[in-house]
Amino acid sequence: MSQPAKNNVAELSGDVSAQMAVLRDDIANLTATVAEYGKAQGMVLRSAAAEKAAGLAESGAAATHAIRAKAEKTYSDTEDAVRANPAAAIGIAAGVGFVIGLLTTRR
């Protein structure tokens, strides 16, 4: 009776070893699959970030251009107003300077 028990244990030991080998192979395959998926997702995210950065750069350049055009227009309008009314421009500049002087002096 002890002989069949030994055979069963030997068979079970062999089965467990075979199953462990299959599990190791499955884990290795899963690890490789997850690594490939991670690399693919990284590439997708990297390209999405590059596209977003390019879009932001374009919108920033457009905004800079619009602000520069507005500043040039304002400067031109101010220059025209000063040329049209030089006395008023001097009076306004003197008044602004006086107010700034009052605000910045210590008491």
Q: Model pTM greater than 0.75?
A: no
Residue 22 to residue 32: CA distance in whole angstroms: 15
How far is the CA of 58 from the CAs of 46, 47, 63, 68, 105, in angstroms? 18, 17, 9, 15, 45
Is the pLDDT confidence value at 4 over 70? no
Return the H-helix or E-strand segment holding 89: helix 86-104
pLDDT (average), residues 79-105: 92
Q: What is the pLDDT of residue 16?
A: 84
Task: Give tens-digit pLDDT for 17-68.
Answer: 888 999 999 999 999 999 999 999 999 999 999 999 999 999 999 999 999 9
Query: For the purposes of burial, counting CB atoms within 10 Å of the CB of 89, is it exposed (0-12), middle (13-18) or buried (19 or more)?
Result: middle
